[in-house]
Amino acid sequence: MISYRKTVTAWLLLTPMIVIIVGVSGYPLIKTIYYSLTGAKLIAPDVTSIFVGLDNYARALSSSKFLEAIWHTTYFAVISVGAEMVIGVLVALLLNEAFAGRTLLRAMLILPLALPTVVNAMMWRLIYNPDFGALNALLVQIGMLDAYRSWLGDPATALDMVILADVWKNFPLVALIALAALQTVPKDLYEAATLDGAGVWNRFWRITLPAILGPLSVALVLRTIEAFKVFDIVYVMTRGGPASSTKTVSFYVYQEAFAYMRVGSGASYALIVVLISACLIAGYMYLIRKQGEV
Amino acid sequence: MKASLTKKICIYLGALLLATVIAVPVLWLFIMSISSSTHLTTLPLQWWPDEPTFENYRSLLVFAENSPSASFLYGIRNSIIIAFCATGLSIIAAIPAAYSFSRLPGPRRKNLLYAVIAIFMLPPVAIVLPLYTVMSALGLLNTHFALIIVYCSILLPFTTWLLKSNFDTIPGDLDEAPIIDGANRLQAIWYVILPIARPALGAAVMMAVLLAWDEFFYGLLFTNDIRAKTITVAIADLAAGRVADYGLISAAGILAAVPPVVLAFFMQKTLVSGLASGSVKG
């Protein structure tokens, strides 16, 4: 009887959250699945929709442009998250040492993180500016570059330059997570290892890395999930150009649905993105369950 | 002895490099913001303006119809309204939910918690199309209300999760005692849990406001003029404008960054522990 009342109370307390989540996420997700099976248009989507079965998916998976967008997103995710992990761990190792100014430096890590994504994108767009940008000016003035370049206007460099801007903003997140984990490693472990003759390299691989691997792997998956959603920075810096070289899947869905007004096929693209994300999210769930976080 | 000196030099060089990498881009944004537009388009580029000026800030902060200042100031206003209302709504729903997850667990509710976290991580493109068509059908596009509701899809799962992890650290006896004495759950939450969890509540509110302030995708799609455009959308508009006044754009960026940066520095400890809580076993 008491446990029955407890169950009722439990669900009653959850009700406001469930109502909101179902309304703003659950129902829309199901409706997206429905749209993806139709030829719905953005204007009056329910009136003009015709059921087309899996046609949208078939077209999506055979569209070289869409597959290219998946490739750009994967490239963006792998390179940016990879760089963020390596730089983040190096910075965490640095900040785990005692030196003057360490507290200030750790506080500075907050700056890129707190800077709004759109402001970050805009800042780097100005720095990369082909005619008056600081990067061109700097490289030419110190003699590393002969003439001004259009960093974001050249399909060969555009995506890498966007990645650089993203790494600058997000490496502090990895650094802070890694630092928090490093501070839980007992110091005498290193001393003992040093006495046993273990070098710097050995100590890193045998002690440091295993100790921070758990939190680090969670950070890795978390950043990868975020990287697969990337939209803001691309929108502000390049709008997917030049020659679609920075077009990521989120940007592709945005264009399909809101520029070309094709909600049906846009929804099928979106769900393919969801499927990829779902694999990553499942990985994340596995990791946090293993670490007993939830 | 020699090895430790080399190590020291390496550490300080590394620290210097890190500080430079973080500070220089933002410093340059600031220098651009106090430069005139003619100065910034003079070649070769000079690294400090001849006559530093706050004219760009003045022209953003002094209201004038149909000018960058109008879209900027309305953007700030809209973002403040939307961020705080969405945060408030999310927190109100998250507190009882987090309590329920923490104190009254059950297998189905555990699965629900996983589902909530998964929803938080879904890419927005998964739900944006139906949200758009519904808002459009209800005539809610370009209103604060639409964005407040839609932002809950991000803020509510996040705050629920954050609060749940914190409530888990509060000993169960504390709120069981008044319940045995006849208080109901809401009273136990209000009089026992919330006073103890005040720091966590502060952290949840701050992180939610930061998330909402930073949001761009929904803001871009669901608004179309100064009545509802958020500051991020206003900045993107400004950056994409035909007349590129780099100084003005930079000043807008600096101003839009001030509230979140100040908030984050002010609550540095909570922010760091909040970030870490998603990854380090609490």
Indicate if the pLDDT at residue B140 is higher than 80. Answer: yes
Q: Count how many domains chain A has.
A: 1
Residue that wins the pLDDT comparison between A154 and A288: A154
Mean pLDDT across B113-138: 89
Mean pLDDT computed over A189-217: 83
CA distance B179 to chain A (A): 12
**Is A35 a member of any domain?**
no
Per the structure, the complete domain to which residue B202 belongs is given by: 64-277
Chain A residues in contact with B272 (beta carbon < 8 A): 176, 180
DSSP for B178-235, please give it: HHHTT--HHHHIIIIIHHHTHHHHHHHHHHHHHHHHH--HHHHHH--STTT--HHHHH
**Is residue A33 included in any domain, yes or no?**
no
Q: What is the pLDDT of residue B280?
A: 39
**A291 contacts in chain B (CB < 8 Å):** 281
B22 in reach of chain A (CB within 8 A): yes
The yes-or-no verdict on residue B261 having pLDDT over 70 is: yes
Burial class (CB in 10 A: 0-12, 13-18, 19+), A154: middle
Q: Percent of chain A scored above 70 by pLDDT?
A: 96
**A266 in contact with B, Cβ within 8 Å:** yes
End-to-end CA distance of chain A: 28
Q: Give the model's confidence band at B279: pLDDT under 50 very low, under 70 low, under 90 confident, else very high.
A: very low
The number of C-beta contacts closer than 8 angstroms across A and B is: 288
User: Chain A: nearest CA to B95, how far in angstroms?
Assistant: 9
Dihedral pair phi/psi, residue A157, rounded to 5°:
-115, -20
List Cα–Cα distances, A145 to A104, A161, A179, B25, in angstroms: 34, 16, 37, 19
Q: B41 lies in a domain?
A: no
In a domain, A7, yes or no: no
Number of domains in chain B: 1
Paired with A38 in beta bridges are A51
- Tell me the C-alpha distance between B1 and B73, whole Å: 59
Rounded distance between C-alpha atoms, residue A116 and residue B216, angstroms:
10
Angstroms from B64 CA to nearest CA on chain A? 23
Tokens 């703003």 label which residue? A24
| Confidence band of A81 (pLDDT split at 50, 70, 90) | very high
> DSSP for chain A?
-HHHHHHHHHHHHHHHHHHHHIIIIIHHHHHHHHHHTB--BSSSTTTS--B-TTHHHHHHHH-HHHHHHHHHHHHHHHHHHHHHHHHHHHHHHHHTS--TTHHHHHHHTHHHHHS-HHHHHHHHHHHT-TTT-HHHHHHHHTTS-SS---TTTSTTTHHHHHHHHHHHHHHHHHHHHHHHHHTTS-HHHHHHHHHTT--HHHHIIIIIHHHHHHHHHHHHHHHHHHHHT--HHHHHHTTT-STTTT--HHHHHHIIIIIS-BHHHHHHHHHHHHHHHHHHHHHHHHHHHHTT--
Classify residue B249: in a domain, yes or no: yes
pLDDT of residue B109: 87
Residue A74 inside a domain? The answer is yes
| Average pLDDT of chain A, as a whole number | 87
Render pLDDT for B84-105 as a digit per residue (tens, 0 to 9): 999 999 999 999 999 999 988 8
Task: Specify the CATH number for the domain of residue B129.
Answer: 1.10.3720.10
Residue A254 lies in a domain: yes
pLDDT at B171: 87
Q: Report whether B68 contacts B133 (CB < 8 A).
A: no
Which positions in chain A touch B85 (Cβ < 8 Å)? none
Whether pLDDT at B277 is above 70: no
Chain B touched by A194 (CB under 8 Å):
no
Q: Which residue has the higher pLDDT, A196 or B43?
A: A196
Report the pLDDT value the prediction gives residue B2, as an integer from 0 to 100: 56
Q: Mean pLDDT, to the nearest integer, of A60-69?
A: 89
Cα A179 versus chain centre, distance: 20
Q: Does pLDDT of B137 surpass 50?
A: yes
Is residue A4 assigned to a domain? no
In a 10 Å sphere around its CB, with 0-12 CB exposed, 13-18 middle and 19+ buried, how is residue B27 labelled? exposed
- Mean pLDDT of the B94-118 span: 89
User: Do the Cβ atoms of B221 and A123 come within 8 Å?
Assistant: no
Q: According to the model, what pLDDT value does residue B169 have?
A: 86
Residue A214 structure tokens: 């758990």
Considering the entire predicted model, what is its pTM?
0.90
* Position B186 pLDDT exceeds 70: yes
Task: Using a CB–CB cutoff of 8 Å, tell me whether A46 touches chain B.
Answer: yes
* Residue B239 maps to a domain: yes
- Average per-residue pLDDT in chain B? 87
Residue B10 placed within a domain: no
**pLDDT tens, A118-131?**
999 999 999 998 88
Residue B107: the pLDDT is 84
Task: Select the more confidently predicted residue: A293 or A226.
Answer: A226
Structure tokens given for A101: 């100014």
Judging contacts by C-beta atoms under 8 Å, the chain A residues touching residue B221 are 254, 258
* Lowest mean pLDDT across A25-29, B2-6, B65-69, B105-109: B2-6
Substitution target in A5, A17, A34, A232 with the highest count of B β-carbons within 10 Å is A17
Please calculate the CA angle A24-A27-A31 and round it to the nearest 5 degrees. 120
pLDDT at A293 over 60: no
Average confidence (pLDDT) over A20-40 = 91
- Residue in chain A lying closest to B125 (CA): A270
Closest CA to A88 of B253, B25, B279: B279
**Would you say residue B231 lies in a domain?**
yes
Looking at residue A292, its pLDDT comes to 62
pLDDT of A272 over the 80 cut: yes
In 3D space, the residue among A182, A7, A163 whose CA is nearest the CA of residue A90 turns out to be: A182
What domain range is A251 assigned to?
Answer: 66-290
Residue numbers in A near B116 (CB within 8 A): 17, 21
Whether A73 has a pLDDT exceeding 90, the answer reads: yes
The pLDDT score that the predictor gives to residue B193 is 87
pLDDT at A93: 92
ipTM value = 0.90
**B203: which 2 tokens?**
């952290």
CATH number at residue A230: 1.10.3720.10
A13, B99 contact by CB (below 8 A): yes
- DSSP-derived letter for residue B46 is P
Nearest CA in chain B to A229: B123
Give me the pLDDT at residue B281, please: 36
Of B15, B114, B271, the CB nearest to A101: B15
Residue B1 inside a domain? The answer is no
The CA dihedral of B121, B124, B130, B134, to the nearest 10 degrees, is 100
Kindly state whether A259 is in contact with chain B, defined as any CB-CB distance less than 8 angstroms.
no
Rounded-to-integer distance, Cα A16 and Cα B93, Å: 5
Q: Which of A272, A262, A277 is nearest to A40 (CA)?
A: A262
pLDDT of B178 above 90: no
- Residue A192, C-beta contacts closer than 8 angstroms, at least 6 positions apart: none
State the pLDDT confidence band at A71, using cuts at 50, 70 and 90: very high
Residue A202 belongs to a domain? yes
Q: Please indicate whether, in this complex, the C-beta atoms of A14 and B112 are within 8 angstroms of each other.
A: yes
Answer whether A107 sits within 8 Å of B156, measured CB to CB: no
Query: Which of residues 188 through 207 in chain B touch A, CB cutoff 8 A?
Result: none
A117 contact B CB<8A: yes
Beta strands in chain B (DSSP E): none
Half-sphere exposure of A130 (CA within 13 A, CB side): 10
pLDDT for residue B282: 31
Picking from B25, B92, B279, the nearest residue to A218 by CB comes out as B279
Asked whether residue B26 is assigned to any structural domain, the reply reads no
Average pLDDT over residues A212-219: 84
Amino acid at A103: T
